[in-house]
Structure formats: structure tokens, C-alpha cells
Amino acid sequence: MVIDDSGRVPPHRRRDGGLWALPGGVMDLGESIADAVTREVREETGVTVEIIGLVGIHSDPRHVIAYSDGEVRRRFNVCPRARPVSGTAHATDEASEVRWVSPAELDALDMHPTQRLRIGHALDEALDQPFLG
């Protein structure tokens, strides 16, 4: 979860479904979690980040993803906290649009509830410990 000094986040509109989402993806072989996070954020938003903490680890057994090729998955998400260090948010091969938005602007974006949950945990300043659930 990338948050800038103004408290804004950079969701992107996914080309594969049109929903707004946080940057994310899978690790490449031989890659660390930190390397995967910085690569995925850069690929999807154009922004280079530095990991500074952990928002939480999220899972929901009711969130089942069925792909058109017949593959069915249940996923978990490790949500790091990161800050931008360089780059400019822009459309990419994976994102038709990327923009920095304030928490107040998030409600207007068409986004899966799990994305909203992660953003809420990241923006909740009352959390003393990472969310595990």
C-alpha cells in the first residue's frame, strides 16, 4: 500500500476488468518480497517505492477467483506499507489509468471490497499492529 506524504494513494484502473485496484501481483522466481513489491508497483503505476512497514496479511475464504481457463483460486495478500521515492504515476501496459487520490476520493472509484478493506487498514492511524485476518 503506497501512501505519499499528503496521505494519498495511487490506485490504477486495471486493463483486464476496468476495476480500480492497488498494485499487486505474484513473485518471480528468485525474487524477494521486497523486490516483487517494488517491481509490481513500478510496472503498474510508474512509481518507484521503498517499503517502510506492513499493513497486514489479508485472506477471505469466501473470496474465490474463477478464471476463464477453469482454474479456481483462493488467495491471500501480504500488504506492505510503502512510500514513493521517484517516478510519476501514469498509464502502463497493465493500467489504463493511474492517479493519486485522497481518501475522500476513493468512494467514487469502482473497486472490489477487498481492495477497500486493505486501503482502510492502511489509512487507519489507530492500528498499532499489522492486520492479520
* 122 exposure class (CB count in 10 Å sphere: 0-12, 13-18, 19+): buried
Segment 17-59, tens digit of pLDDT:
899 999 988 899 999 999 999 999 999 999 999 999 988 888 8
Among all chains, which residue has been given the C-alpha cell 492511524?
Answer: 125
Choice between 41 and 115, residue whose per-residue pLDDT is larger: 41
Q: Is the pTM of this model over 0.95?
A: no
pLDDT value at residue 128: 52
CATH of domain 12-124: 3.90.79.10
Number of H helices, E strands in the chain: 2, 6
**Grid coordinates standing for 91?**
498509464
Burial 16-45 (b: 16+ CB within 10 A, else e): eeeebbbbbeeeeeeeeeeebbbbbbbebb
How are beta strands 47-66 and 131-132 bridged, if at all?
parallel
